Amino acid sequence: MPGRVASAALLLATLVALPARARDASARTTLEGFVWNTSPVALQTGLVTGGGAEMRRLFGSQGLFFGAELALGQSEEATNDWVLDDLDGLASVEVGLERTFGVGTLRASFSLGTLAVEQLGQRAQFDRLKAAGLHGLTRNAASIGPYAAVDLGAAIAFAGAWTFFVQLGPAFTVQKVAGQERSRWLLTSGLGVGRGF
Amino acid sequence: MVFRSALAILVAAALSGCGSGVDDLSLPPTILVTLRGHVDVTRVQAAAGGHPLNAALVWGADPSPLYQLYALCLKYASNADLQPACPDPFGFVPSQIEATTRVNADGSFDLPLIHLPDARVCVGTAPPLVAWGSLVVAADTDGSGTFDFFAPRKQGEYGRTPPTLADRVVAASFWSLQKPEQRVGYLEGTWNEAILGLFYPLPGCPTPRAGFSVLTAPGMTVDVSQGNLTPKPLPGTCTDEVATETVEATPLSGPDGRAFACRQVQDRLRVSQPPMTRPGINPVTGKPEKNSPEANDKQACLDATTLALISPGDCPTVQLYPLKGCGDQLSCQTPEWDLTKHVPVWWPCH
Q: What is the pLDDT of residues A48-77, one digit of tens each?
A: 999 999 999 999 889 999 999 999 999 999
Query: Do B19 and A176 count as a contact with CB atoms less than 8 A apart?
Result: yes
Query: Do B210 and A43 count as a contact with CB atoms less than 8 A apart?
Result: no
Query: Do B25 and A80 count as a contact with CB atoms less than 8 A apart?
Result: no
Look at chain B and report how many structural domains it folds into.
2
On whether both B197 and B274 belong to a single domain, the answer is: no
Given a contact cutoff of 8 angstroms between Cβ atoms, the answer to whether B137 and B87 are in contact is: no
On whether both B87 and B223 belong to a single domain, the answer is: yes
A5 has pLDDT over 90 = no
Q: Does B28 touch chain A (CB under 8 A)?
A: yes
Query: Do B25 and A84 count as a contact with CB atoms less than 8 A apart?
Result: yes
On whether both B276 and B258 belong to a single domain, the answer is: no
User: Residue B175 and residue B249: Cα distance in Å, rounded?
Assistant: 10
User: Residue A64 and residue A189: Cα distance in Å, rounded?
Assistant: 21
Q: Count of CB contacts below 8 A, A vs B?
A: 122
**Which of B262, B281, B308 is the C-terminal boundary of a domain?**
B262
Q: Does B25 touch chain A (CB under 8 A)?
A: yes
On whether both B276 and B238 belong to a single domain, the answer is: no
Q: Does B24 touch chain A (CB under 8 A)?
A: yes
User: Residue B89 and residue B101: Cα distance in Å, rounded?
Assistant: 29
On whether both B244 and B285 belong to a single domain, the answer is: no
Q: How far is CA A5 from the centre of its chain?
A: 13
Q: What is the pLDDT of residue A20?
A: 39
On whether both B277 and B246 belong to a single domain, the answer is: no
Q: Does A103 touch chain B (CB under 8 A)?
A: no
Q: What is the pLDDT of residue B204?
A: 86
Query: Do B23 and A177 count as a contact with CB atoms less than 8 A apart?
Result: yes
Chain B, window 132-191: residues with a beta carbon less than 8 angstroms from a chain A beta carbon: 186-189
Considering only CB atoms, which chain A residues are within 8 Å of B186? 132
Q: Is B220 part of any domain?
A: yes
Q: What is the pLDDT of residues B320-334, one digit of tens each?
A: 999 999 998 888 899
Chain A, window 158-187: residues with a beta carbon less than 8 angstroms from a chain B beta carbon: 174-181
* SS3 call for B7: helix
**Which of B243, B262, B281 is the C-terminal boundary of a domain?**
B262
On whether both B273 and B257 belong to a single domain, the answer is: no
**Which of B233, B262, B291 is the C-terminal boundary of a domain?**
B262
Considering only CB atoms, which chain A residues are within 8 Å of B15? 146
Substitution target from B3, B22, B116 for chain A, most A beta carbons within 10 A? B22
On whether both B52 and B107 belong to a single domain, the answer is: yes
A156 has pLDDT over 50 = yes
Q: Is B21 part of any domain?
A: no
Q: Does B23 touch chain A (CB under 8 A)?
A: yes
Q: What is the DSSP string of B66-134?
A: GHHHHHHHHHTTT-TTTGGGPPPTTB--EEEEEEEEEPPTTSEEEEEE-SPPPGGG-EESSSSEEEEEE
* SS3 call for B223: coil
Q: Is B232 part of any domain?
A: yes
Q: Which of A16-20, A26-30, A84-88, B145-149 has the highest mean pLDDT?
A: A84-88
On whether both B312 and B213 belong to a single domain, the answer is: no
Q: Is B136 part of any domain?
A: yes
On whether both B84 and B222 belong to a single domain, the answer is: yes
Q: What is the pLDDT of residues A163-188, one digit of tens each?
A: 999 999 999 999 999 988 999 999 99
Q: What is the pLDDT of residues B43-72, one digit of tens each?
A: 999 999 999 999 999 999 999 889 999 999
Q: What is the pLDDT of residue B226?
A: 65
User: Residue A101 and residue A110: Cα distance in Å, rounded?
Assistant: 21
Sheet containing B318-322, strands listed edge to edge, beginning at the edge strand earlier in sequence: B269-271, B318-322, B306-310, B298-303
Q: What is the pLDDT of residue B3?
A: 58
By mean pLDDT, which of B23-27, B135-139, B221-225 is the weakest? B221-225
Q: Which of A6-20, B4-18, B272-286 has the highest mean pLDDT?
A: B272-286
The CA distances from residue B72 to B80, B118, B147, B204, B239, in Å, are: 13, 30, 32, 30, 36
Q: Is B13 part of any domain?
A: no
Q: How far is A22 from chain B (nearest CA, A)?
A: 31
B7 has pLDDT over 60 = no
Substitution target from A39, A118, A128 for chain B, most B beta carbons within 10 A? A128
Q: What is the pLDDT of residue A45?
A: 83
Which positions ≥6 away from B118 have C-beta within 8 Å?
B59, B96
Q: Is B17 part of any domain?
A: no
Do you find a cis peptide bond into B84, omega within 30 degrees of 0? no
Task: Flag whether the ipTM exceeds 0.95.
Answer: no
Q: Does B255 touch chain A (CB under 8 A)?
A: no
Domains of chain A: 2-17+26-196 (2.40.160.20)
Given a contact cutoff of 8 angstroms between Cβ atoms, the answer to whether B135 and B35 are in contact is: yes
**Band (A130; pLDDT cuts 50, 70, 90):** confident
Q: How far is B2 from chain A (nearest CA, A)?
A: 13
Give the domain range for residue B250. Answer: 33-262
B250 has pLDDT over 60 = yes
Q: Does A142 touch chain B (CB under 8 A)?
A: yes
On whether both B85 and B137 belong to a single domain, the answer is: yes
User: Residue A50 and residue A116: Cα distance in Å, rounded?
Assistant: 14
Taken in order B328, B331, B332, B334, the sign of the CA dihedral is positive
Which positions ≥6 away from B257 have C-beta within 8 Å?
B47, B138, B168, B169, B170, B171, B172
Considering only CB atoms, which chain B residues are within 8 Å of A177? 21-24
Q: Which residue of A has its CA nearest to B7?
A: A93
Q: How far is CA A126 from the centre of its chain?
A: 30
Q: Does A26 touch chain B (CB under 8 A)?
A: no
